[in-house]
Amino acid sequence: MLQDQDLLSIQEVRTKVDKAYAAWQKYLGYSQEKIDSIVEHVAAAARANSQRVAELAVEETGYGNARDKNIKNLLACDVLPRRMRGMKTVGVLRELTEEKVVEIGVPVGVVAAILPTTNPTSTAIYKTLISLKAGNAVVISPHPRAHRCTCVTAAILYEAAVEAGAPEDLVQCVDTATMEGTQALMRHERTSVILATGGSGIVKAAYSSGKPAFGVGPGNVPVLVDTSSDLEDAVGKVVAGKSFDYGTVCSSEQAIVAEDSLRERILGILKSQKAYLADDAQKLALGKLLIMPNWTVNANCVGQSPVKIAKMAGFEVPPDTSIICCEIAGVGKQYPLSAEKLSPVLSLHFVKDFAAAVDTCYALLKFGGLGHTAVIHARDEARIRQYGLRVPAMRVLVNTPAPQGSTGITTNVFPAMTLGCGAAAGNATSDNIGPLNLINIKRLAYAVRRAEEAFETRVGVAAGAPAFGGIDRGTVAAAVDRYLAARGITQSGGVTQGTVSNVATEVVDRFLSRRSTGPKTGFS
Q: Would you tell me how many other CB atoms lie within 10 Å of the CB of residue 127? A: 26
Nearest 10 degrees: Cα torsion 420, 423, 428, 431: 30
Phi, psi for 196 (deg, rounded to 5): -110, 115
Question: What separation in angstroms does the CA of 233 have from each of 226, 266, 381, 408?
Answer: 12, 11, 17, 20
Cβ atoms of 398 and 384 closer than 8 Å: yes
Please name the helix (run of DSSP H) or strand (run of DSSP E) that holds residue 267, with its range, or none.
helix 263-272
CA-wise closest residue to 417 among 65, 89, 119? 119
Contacts of 345 (CB under 8 A, 6+ apart): 247, 286, 290, 306, 309, 323, 324, 325, 326, 337
Considering the candidates 173, 250, 325, 421, report the single residue annotated as catalytic. 250
Helix and strand counts by DSSP (H, E) for the chain: 18, 15
Residue 32: helix, strand or coil by DSSP?
A: helix
- How far is it between the farthest Cα atoms of the chain? 118
Q: Say if residues 157 and 45 touch (Cβ distance below 8 Å).
A: yes
Spell out the SS3 assignment of 129-162: HHHHHCCCEEEEECCHHHHHHHHHHHHHHHHHHH
**392 Cβ neighbours under 8 A, 6+ residues apart:** 362, 365, 366, 370, 371, 424
Alpha carbons 125 and 74: distance in angstroms, whole number: 9
Known active-site residue 325? no
Torsion over CA: 387, 393, 397, 402 (sign): negative
Are the beta carbons of 253 and 242 closer than 8 angstroms? yes
The torsion angles phi and psi of 374, rounded to 5 degrees, stand at -140, 160
The Cα 438–Cα 136 span in angstroms is 8
Q: What percent of the chain is helix, strand and coil (3-state, nearest 5)? A: 50, 15, 35
How far apart are the C-alpha atoms of 119 and 291, rounded to whole Å? 21
Residue type, 124: A
Nearest to 138 by CA among 42, 50, 280, 235: 42
Q: Which residues are catalytic?
A: 250
